[in-house]
């Protein structure tokens, strides 16, 4: 049975890729799973809230450290790139001569 592959629409109808729909569904599934875990948790509500709050604060602190490291690395590379451009410009001007 021959198949006409030109008739298949591989693009989405809105012109966007399907990545945003997947991410939305993934976040929804994460929220539903977290809610179910909290509902069926064996600990009391106050203990669970303290535990979750502590973990979230730890994640926030870890994210802040990661962002600071990333900013330092971007700055370091930017400085290196500027130095590289200056040395290239000097090399070119010396090669051209007076």
The pLDDT tens digits for 62-73 are: 788 888 889 999
Residue 98 tokens, joined: 């007076």
> Has residue 28 got a pLDDT over 80?
yes
Tell me if 45 sits within 8 A of 39, measured CB to CB: no
- Say what percent of the chain tops pLDDT 90: 14
- Quote the tokens at residue 10: 């591989």
- pTM equals 0.38
Distance CA 37, CA 40 (A): 5
Place of tokens 């590379």: 77
In this predicted model, which residue has the larger pLDDT, 84 or 41?
84
Weakest-pLDDT range from 11-20, 49-58, 62-71: 11-20
């Amino acid at each position: 049975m021959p198949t006409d592959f030109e008739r298949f629409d591989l693009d989405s109808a809105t012109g966007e890729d399907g990545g945003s729909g997947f991410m939305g569904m993934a976040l929804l599934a994460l929220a539903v799973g977290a809610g179910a875990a909290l509902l069926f948790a064996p600990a009391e509500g106050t203990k669970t809230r303290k535990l979750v709050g502590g973990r979230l604060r730890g994640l926030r602190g870890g994210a802040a450290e990661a962002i600071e490291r990333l900013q330092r690395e971007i700055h370091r590379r930017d400085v290196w790139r500027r130095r590289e451009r200056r040395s290239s410009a000097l090399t070119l001007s010396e090669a051209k001569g007076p």
